[in-house]
Amino acid sequence: MENRSTLSVIVALLGMLSQCLTHLTPRITFSIGSPGRHLTRFSNHDVGNTTTLLLSEAGDMLYVGARDAVLALDVSHEDVITLRNKLDWSPSDKDLEQCSMKGKNIADCPNFIRVLQFLNSSHIYACGTFAFSPRCTYVNSESLTMSMKPDEGRGRCPYDPYQRNTAIIVDGELYTGTVADYRGNRPVISRHLSESRRVDLKLDDTLGWLEDPTFISSSYIPDEEKIYFFFSEVGREYDFIDKFIVSRVSQICMSDVGGQRTLQRRWTTFAKAQLLCQADNELPYNVLQDIDTLPPAEGVPADETLFYGIFTSQWSVNSGHSAVCSFRLSDIRAVFSGNYKVLNRDTLQWSTRVQEKVANPGECGLHNASDNALRFIKENFLADDSVRPIDRHLTMVSTGYKYSHLTAQRVQAANNKNYTVLFLLTESGYLHKAVVLQSGAHIVEEVQVFEQPQPVKSLKLSIPKGMIYVGTSEGVMRVPTANCSFYWTCAQCVLARDPFCGWDTVSRTCVETSNTQISLAQDVDTGNVKETCDRGTFTNRVRFDPNEVSAGELVSVALNEVVRLRCPAASHLSQQLWERPNSQLSSDLYLHLGDGGLSFVATPATLGHYLCLSIENGYQQTMAIYHVKQKSGPLVQTTSSYTALQTLTAAKTQAAPSPSPGLHSFEFWPLLKKTMQGDIEPTVSSMDTTPVPTQRGLNLTVWTPEPGQTETDFVGGELLHSAREPCYLKELVVVSVLLVLCISLTITMFLYVVRLHCRSRTVPHTATPSRNSDRRTPVEHEAPRRNQLFNKSNRHSPHSGQACGSGCNGALTEGNGHLPNTPI
């Protein structure tokens, strides 16, 4: 209890000491279907859960493991993905019935393909859940047909389609990390399809080598002939915390054949260590989500192999955050070469080993070791030290996005310098392209891949084709890694800081660095436009001179009219600035809107030229030029622009709109106050202007009125018209009519109630029948009938309309209750 209280205090203190994280913002956003970012999608109504992807070496064929099927997709064409072959592989009705009888949801009983690996140049090895009874088979990669009858896949493929697994085939042998039982309680790391004198191996589960793991990925290192597995599990060494999750890296040697007496058919080279994604004075990001291997550059030793992983935290202080950490292979080797913890069999507690080292855990070639050495290996498999990120720093931290999958690529820039580019998929359906720099990560762009969040199990990168493939529950989406043609000026090409793109000064276009040998203008590290671009290729306005303005938009307004000028943002990282010649934009006359626009009332002092600048990374570019002029003729809005501006406006019109900040009423409060005080004549209209864009397909727009609606309806109609002198004549007439109707209705209801009350008192009372009530003669039975006839005749008499009070009944009846002159 005391330890847990201490831990709670430590967690709270670390949360308070956490450094202020910079919110990483993508520079440009492309919504789904945007013409500025071309995507290709494959979907079929008969195909679902395309979540296992396998890409051919040349990148022309994509094999997809789906629900009850294996697909071969032709991805060699840029604009279309076509289905070449399809292998139907579904359970029988009997299998589905047995799966349902086991208590499983019928929707989880189909055959979900979870293992798809190249066995050799002609065959693919595929495994599926097959109604919670895993099956595996060999598939011809050309004809997509089964080469043999499926066999049992226990230990190779999970039973449950929601359980994560990893599989890799090296030299014809399958290495897997999955669960080996129906309930999912027996995690295993095993080898299958062994040939010659080698045998299939698996972990020894008597000491709990794995503690409820979630397998993420596996990687083969050729120089070491080792397989590395990455997963998250419960850290039993932290016995003072319940269910404390830790991220692990484990290793096994491919040459391992098990021990002769001890650890027979079991791994003798298994070892695991903790992956610690943590910065100084911060809580660790302890839950591994995905990891990718980045091989070293050509000519660089294998020790420089990097592993980039996405981590989240189980602590509430970092809830919703994602961190990316990179680990070097040499650091992993050093941890496995160090000391190991030892497990006390009596107390099941871990402690640092103090006894003499009998053998080196994780060392290859231990299958011929003595039984004493193998027993030592069996009990000492957890490294004492943790693998820490490169330079003890996090690669990037995202506080606004939660990442689920990533893939990494090394790109050579125009200056022959290598940069690491990460493609990260968010849970909300956006793909981020981020470049890793010394100053921190820079997100070049974000691309919306799908509208609604959905399960994503695979993210494949085709370096030869420059494409990324995303496998979702509905289909496969292809995204090009480069989008250089979107940047149509040198400044925009440099400000993007994209290692894939550079500015060609000859063709004056932004091109991919891998497609040309010409020296390109590019600055990935700082994005300095002044030093990178030729000064003759762009204009960097510092001071505004209207005499030099040869293009702009004429805005004709009437005096006292509310004018709103718009200014599109060049990117999410830019800031808008308005300028006037020889004049300051006083806050008393001008309102700077949240979307970068400018609003003011047209007066002789506010007429003239306006220039909107966008400032990004020290570079200024003109976004819009306006000339506000007083109307000279009838109240007809006339707007003229130059041909160049019309071309730019057409480019903006083709771009898909994206949400923009709304126009809030408090922004016009100073103007409303002046109007109510009588400083401004309350005769208001508005001018809708169209800005001059500087990029094609840029998804940054502002409020646009509906057809037939002007900004007067939106601004003046809501605020300024309310300042006019009110007139309530119509309202007074309506209220008076309603009041008269209400009074009339009340009187009518009251008279109706009085009439009902009077009628109820004139009707004879009927006595309750008794036992002797029917003992009457025929004459007595006839008397009531006569009375009724008498009453009816009286009602139609001339005096029946006289008022009846309390004595009405007394005038018509006697004390015995019978009508007068009626024989009894």
> Would you say residue 176 lies in a domain?
yes
CA R_g for the chain: 41
CB 494 within 8 A of CB 484: no
Residue scoring higher pLDDT (14 or 530) = 530
> Would you say residue 803 lies in a domain?
no
Q: Where is average pLDDT lowest: 139-148, 171-180, 534-543, 608-617? A: 534-543
Is 316 found in the same domain as 213? yes
Q: Which residues pair with 504 in a beta bridge?
A: 509
Given a cut of 60, is residue 705 above it in pLDDT?
Answer: no
Is 303 found in the same domain as 202? yes
Pairing of strands 686-688, 562-565: parallel
Given a cut of 80, is residue 658 above it in pLDDT?
Answer: no
Q: How confident is the model at residue 647 (pLDDT cuts 50, 70, 90)?
A: very low
Q: Which residues pair with 641 in a beta bridge?
A: 553
CB 41 within 8 A of CB 33: no
Coil vs helix vs strand at 755: helix
pLDDT of residue 776: 45
Mean pLDDT within 768-777:
42
Q: How confident is the model at residue 111 (pLDDT cuts 50, 70, 90)?
A: very high
Given a cut of 60, is residue 34 above it in pLDDT?
Answer: yes
pLDDT of residue 628: 93
pLDDT of residue 394: 95
Helices (H), 337-429: 371-379
Cα distances (Å, whole numbers) of residue 688 to 187, 216, 529, 613, 638: 65, 54, 33, 19, 11
Given a cut of 70, is residue 677 above it in pLDDT?
Answer: no
Residue scoring higher pLDDT (395 or 692) = 395
- Residue numbers of the domain that contains 125: 42-163
Supply 651's token pair: 């480019």
Q: Where is average pLDDT lowest: 12-26, 644-658, 721-735? A: 644-658
Given a cut of 50, is residue 706 above it in pLDDT?
Answer: no
C-alpha–C-alpha distance, residues 127 and 231, integer Å: 21
Given a cut of 70, is residue 104 above it in pLDDT?
Answer: yes
Residue scoring higher pLDDT (711 or 87) = 87
> Locate tokens 């590395």: which residue?
228
C-alpha–C-alpha distance, residues 169 and 122, integer Å: 14
Is 557 found in the same domain as 521? no
Question: Going along 602-722, which residue ranges are E strands?
Answer: 608-616, 619-630, 639-641, 686-688
pLDDT of residue 355: 63
> Would you say residue 316 lies in a domain?
yes
Model-level pTM? 0.74
Q: Where is average pLDDT lowest: 357-361, 484-488, 683-687? A: 683-687
pLDDT of residue 306: 97
> Would you say residue 403 lies in a domain?
no
- Tell me the CATH number at 111: 2.130.10.10
Q: Where is average pLDDT lowest: 141-145, 355-359, 384-388, 787-791? A: 787-791
> Would you say residue 442 lies in a domain?
no
pLDDT of residue 810: 39
Last residue of a domain, one of 100, 135, 163: 163
E strand or H helix at 426: strand 418-426
Closest CA to 385 of 420, 338, 345: 338
Q: What is the pLDDT of residues 276-297, one digit of tens each?
A: 999 887 889 999 999 999 999 9
> Would you say residue 455 lies in a domain?
no
Coil vs helix vs strand at 332: helix
> Locate tokens 């406006």: which residue?
649
Which range in 207-211, 552-556, 638-642 is most confidently predicted, on average pLDDT?
A: 552-556
Last residue of a domain, one of 119, 146, 163: 163
Is 582 found in the same domain as 521? no
> Locate tokens 């080196």: which residue?
360
Q: Where is average pLDDT lowest: 37-41, 203-207, 257-261? A: 203-207
How buried is 140 (Cβ within 10 angstroms: 0-12 exposed, 13-18 middle, 19+ buried)?
middle
> Would you say residue 374 lies in a domain?
yes
Is 283 found in the same domain as 148? no
Mean pLDDT within 8-32:
61
Looking at residue 106, its amino acid is I
Coil vs helix vs strand at 619: strand
CA-CA-CA-CA torsion sign (159, 161, 164, 168):
positive
Is 555 found in the same domain as 491? no
Q: How confident is the model at residue 727 (pLDDT cuts 50, 70, 90)?
A: low
Coil vs helix vs strand at 42: strand
Domain count, the chain: 4
> Would you say residue 280 lies in a domain?
yes
Q: How confident is the model at residue 23 (pLDDT cuts 50, 70, 90)?
A: confident
C-alpha–C-alpha distance, residues 478 and 475, integer Å: 10
Q: Where is average pLDDT lowest: 130-144, 298-312, 341-355? A: 341-355
Share the mean pLDDT of the chain: 79
Q: How confident is the model at residue 821 (pLDDT cuts 50, 70, 90)?
A: very low
- Tell me the CATH number at 520: 3.30.1680.10
Is 563 found in the same domain as 531? no
Cβ contacts of residue 20 below 8 Å, gap of 6+? none
Given a cut of 70, is residue 367 above it in pLDDT?
Answer: yes
Count of alpha carbons within 13 angstroms of residue 170, beta-carbon side: 18
Q: What is the pLDDT of residues 556-613, one digit of tens each?
A: 999 999 999 999 999 999 999 999 988 889 888 999 998 899 999 999 999 999 999 9
Closest CA to 694 of 593, 597, 568, 572: 568
Cα distances (Å, whole numbers) of residue 104 to 97, 101, 182, 235: 10, 7, 11, 30
Q: What is the pLDDT of residues 309-348, one digit of tens each?
A: 999 998 877 788 999 999 999 999 999 999 999 887 777 7
CB 694 within 8 A of CB 570: yes
C-alpha–C-alpha distance, residues 571 and 700, integer Å: 8
Last residue of a domain, one of 118, 137, 163: 163
Q: Where is average pLDDT lowest: 40-44, 427-431, 674-678? A: 674-678
Is 708 found in the same domain as 624? yes
First CA to last CA across the chain, in angstroms? 101
Is 652 found in the same domain as 530? no
Given a cut of 80, is residue 648 above it in pLDDT?
Answer: no
- Tell me the CATH number at 592: 2.60.40.10
C-alpha–C-alpha distance, residues 662 and 703, integer Å: 7
Q: Kindly state the percentage of the chain with pLDDT values over 70.
A: 75
Is 284 found in the same domain as 216? yes
Given a cut of 80, is residue 482 above it in pLDDT?
Answer: yes
667-675 own/partner pairs: CB under 8 Å, 24+ apart: 667/591, 667/593, 667/594, 667/599, 668/591, 668/599, 668/715, 668/719, 668/720, 670/588, 670/591, 671/562, 671/591, 671/599, 671/601, 671/719, 671/720, 672/719, 672/720, 672/723, 675/720, 675/723
How buried is 571 (Cβ within 10 angstroms: 0-12 exposed, 13-18 middle, 19+ buried)?
buried
Q: Where is average pLDDT lowest: 93-107, 192-206, 593-607? A: 192-206
Is 128 found in the same domain as 180? no
pLDDT of residue 762: 57
CA 773 to chain centre: 86
Given a cut of 70, is residue 546 above it in pLDDT?
Answer: no
C-alpha–C-alpha distance, residues 133 and 102, integer Å: 11
pLDDT of residue 400: 86
Given a cut of 70, is residue 225 above it in pLDDT?
Answer: yes
Residue scoring higher pLDDT (637 or 458) = 458
> What is the per-residue burial (b if ≥16 Cβ within 10 Å, else e) of 669-682?
eebbebbeeeebeb
Q: Which residues pair with 221 in a beta bridge?
A: 226
Q: How confident is the model at residue 817 (pLDDT cuts 50, 70, 90)?
A: very low
Q: Where is average pLDDT lowest: 330-334, 528-532, 813-817? A: 813-817
Closest CA to 131 of 114, 115, 107: 107
Mean pLDDT within 389-415:
93
Given a cut of 80, is residue 1 above it in pLDDT?
Answer: no
> What is the per-residue burial (b if ≥16 Cβ within 10 Å, else e) of 179-207?
bbeeeeebbbbbbbbeeeeeeebbbbeee
Given a cut of 60, is residue 415 above it in pLDDT?
Answer: yes
pLDDT of residue 640: 36
Given a cut of 70, is residue 535 above it in pLDDT?
Answer: no
CB 492 within 8 A of CB 573: no
> Locate tokens 């050495």: which residue?
373
Q: What is the pLDDT of residues 549-569, one digit of tens each?
A: 555 799 999 999 999 999 999
Is 105 found in the same domain as 238? no
Q: How confident is the model at residue 811 (pLDDT cuts 50, 70, 90)?
A: very low
Helices (H), 54-119: 93-101
Q: Where is average pLDDT lowest: 244-258, 757-771, 803-817? A: 803-817
Number of H-type helices and E-type strands within the chain: 12, 42
Pairing of strands 619-630, 639-641: unpaired
Q: Where is average pLDDT lowest: 453-462, 479-488, 600-609? A: 453-462
C-alpha–C-alpha distance, residues 754 and 452, integer Å: 67
Q: Where is average pLDDT lowest: 398-407, 455-464, 601-610, 790-799? A: 790-799
